[in-house]
Amino acid sequence: MKKLSYLFAVAASAACLCACTDVTDVLPAEQIPADARSTLGADVVLQWNNEEQTIDGFGVAQAGWSDYLYAHRKRQEIMDVMFGQDGLRLSILRGEVFPHYDETTFNMDEDINLSLDDPFFDIDFNRDENRVAEGIAQRNGQLWIMKKAKQEYGVDKLIFSVWSAPAYMKSNGSTSQGFLKRGSYQAFADYLSNFCDAYTAAGLPVYAISPANEPEYAASWNSCLWLPGTTTLGPFIVNNLGPKLRQTHPETRIIFGENAQWSAILGFIMGSKNYVRDILNLNPKITNFPVIAAGHGYVDPVTGKDPAIEPFSKAESKGIPVWLTEISDPTESYDATMTSGLKWAKKFHRFLCEANTGAIVWWAGAIPDGGTTEGLINIEKNRVDYEVTKRCEVFGNFSRYIPVGSKRISAQYDFEQGYMVSGYKYGDNGYTVVAINPADHEVVISLALESAQVSGALQGYVTDDTRKWEPVEAVQPADGVYTLTLPARSVVSYTGTVLSSSSL
């Protein structure tokens, strides 16, 4: 969770740098040999039988920002934007296991259906003097949002992270900084199990839970250090949390990693990739439990640079899903335009195609933040107005058209041309292509499938400066090759089918 105060802490030591390195700066994982291009007669070749990771879904976090969405008078419209069929169709919602719960009830019996005219909702929850009200609004707001997402929109992956254990379990008696006392390990595991009990009883089974959000970062807000993870977090999962959940909630997955940066920086910040690697190396029994390896995608707060976007090779070697569970840029000035949209579209592409992530979860869905790029949707504190940004809309070019359970397939092309293309297959014969053209001019490319026979037209849906998921004229193949016109500064999602595929 990144509170707005993070901006000031970072600004003193870092200049803003685009969170997506230009495509010419970093080599993508896939390039198309010249002979393959000429053989298939296409600029882009999708290799139908070359399957990569499974796509588990796309989502948002509300976590500590549930209070403001809960209080907003147009909260139903905003939920529609995030989860509805006419919106992003998200399948993952990330919340928080708050350290201020009443552990005997987890506050599940509070009235979450207050009238929006109730004076409680007029409180500015971010002011220091309103911390008690903030806690109530966070807990009740999260419960209201989770129920709405599950019951009305069918969101089936409700995941939760812990920023801090309850204060009495920690070394410093505070929910900020400090670390979990060794004598509290089993009590904390029981606490997380009891949380799963409470949410499950409310009709909200917990898909996955993370005991440590950003375990390397002693933030001034709710935080808890787990250093080193090899001798703290890893053993806690293997000896305490894993066995406890196996008894009480064997279907609940355990997320581990979740460092602020995806990979190592300057040798002194481990990053999620190496943190996950070391936990797996020294705690091999962790794979006895259903785990998800995860990382966050923030820039380095010291240099302002973007860490390498690369696979979690150790986790992949063990068949562990890898998720990006938090990404935004609290150092970047607010920009609701397609300039920001294209920047983030390129980064989504890179995490999917270079890091092989199975899920992308944005921080945060809807927050009162007109100053940075932390929100997909900016909700005003007047509780009436809101703005849907272009980064939200381009996120939809992935979340709307790549079904859960899809397999990414290799897309070979000449990266130096500037456009970016990824492919995903699903069901018996369906597939999606997401094409990004960051150039200020239209680009025409040819597309072919290797080891599959195309069937009928490709239907495209374009997002650009003025359009959002707008259908474009369907493209028919000529001799098995599609000619696609990518508008300037656009993201286009194409959907199509194949007649058959053959093994190489």
Domain ranges of the chain: 44-52+408-498, 56-405
Taking residues 28-33, what's their average pLDDT? 44
DSSP labels, 262-291: SS-BTTTB-HHHHHHHHHHHH-GGGGGS-E
25 pLDDT higher than 60: no
In angstroms, rounded to a whole number, what is the distance separating the alpha carbons of residues 419 and 219?
38
18 pLDDT higher than 60: no
CB burial readout 142-163, b (16+ within 10 A) else e = bbbbbbbbbeebebebbbbbbb
CA distances from 150 to 79, 116, 145, 224 (A): 11, 21, 9, 29
CA distances from 65 to 5, 257, 365, 446 (A): 14, 22, 9, 44
220 pLDDT higher than 70: yes
User: What is residue 267's predicted lDDT score, i.e. its pLDDT?
Assistant: 57
**Which of 14-18, 113-117, 163-167, 476-480 shows the lowest per-residue confidence on average (mean pLDDT)?**
14-18
User: What is residue 40's predicted lDDT score, i.e. its pLDDT?
Assistant: 65
Averaged pLDDT score across all residues of the chain: 91
500: confidence class by pLDDT, cuts 50, 70, 90:
low
What whole-number percentage of the chain has pLDDT above 90?
Answer: 84
Q: What's the token pair of residue 196?
A: 């799963």
Burial group, residue 364, by CB count within 10 angstroms (0-12, 13-18, 19+): buried
**pLDDT tens digits for 230-247?**
889 999 999 999 999 999
What whole-number percentage of the chain has pLDDT above 70?
Answer: 90
Taking residues 91-105, what's their average pLDDT? 96
Q: Where does 44-52+408-498 sit in CATH, by number?
A: 2.60.40.1180
168 pLDDT higher than 60: yes
In angstroms, rounded to a whole number, what is the distance separating the alpha carbons of residues 63 and 502?
46
User: What is residue 306's predicted lDDT score, i.e. its pLDDT?
Assistant: 86
Query: What's 333's DSSP letter?
Result: B
27 pLDDT higher than 70: no
Taking residues 483-499, what's their average pLDDT? 98
Sheet holding 407-412, edge to edge: 470-471, 452-463, 490-501, 430-437, 420-426, 407-412, 44-54, 443-450, 481-486
199 pLDDT higher than 60: yes
211 pLDDT higher than 80: yes
For domain 56-405, is the CATH number 3.20.20.70? no
User: What is residue 370's predicted lDDT score, i.e. its pLDDT?
Assistant: 77
227: confidence class by pLDDT, cuts 50, 70, 90:
confident
348 pLDDT higher than 70: yes
Burial group, residue 113, by CB count within 10 angstroms (0-12, 13-18, 19+): exposed
Long-range CB pairs of 17-20, under 8 A, 24+ apart, other chains included = 17/299, 17/304, 17/305, 17/306, 18/306, 18/332, 18/343, 19/297, 19/299, 19/306, 19/327, 19/329, 19/332, 19/343, 19/344, 19/347, 20/306, 20/343, 20/344, 20/346, 20/347, 20/350
Q: Which residue has the higher pLDDT, 392 or 9?
A: 392
Taking residues 433-451, what's their average pLDDT? 98
User: What is residue 273's predicted lDDT score, i.e. its pLDDT?
Assistant: 96
In angstroms, rounded to a whole number, what is the distance separating the alpha carbons of residues 344 and 246?
38
464 pLDDT higher than 50: yes
288 pLDDT higher than 90: yes
146 pLDDT higher than 90: yes
Cβ contact 429:498 at 8 Å: yes
Taking residues 205-217, what's their average pLDDT? 96
381 pLDDT higher than 60: yes
In angstroms, rounded to a whole number, what is the distance separating the alpha carbons of residues 140 and 105?
13
Q: Which residue has the higher pLDDT, 270 or 242?
A: 242
Taking residues 103-127, what's their average pLDDT? 94
In angstroms, rounded to a whole number, what is the distance separating the alpha carbons of residues 434 and 456?
18
**Which of 24-28, 72-76, 201-205, 331-335 shows the lowest per-residue confidence on average (mean pLDDT)?**
24-28
5 pLDDT higher than 90: no
In angstroms, rounded to a whole number, what is the distance separating the alpha carbons of residues 124 and 250?
40
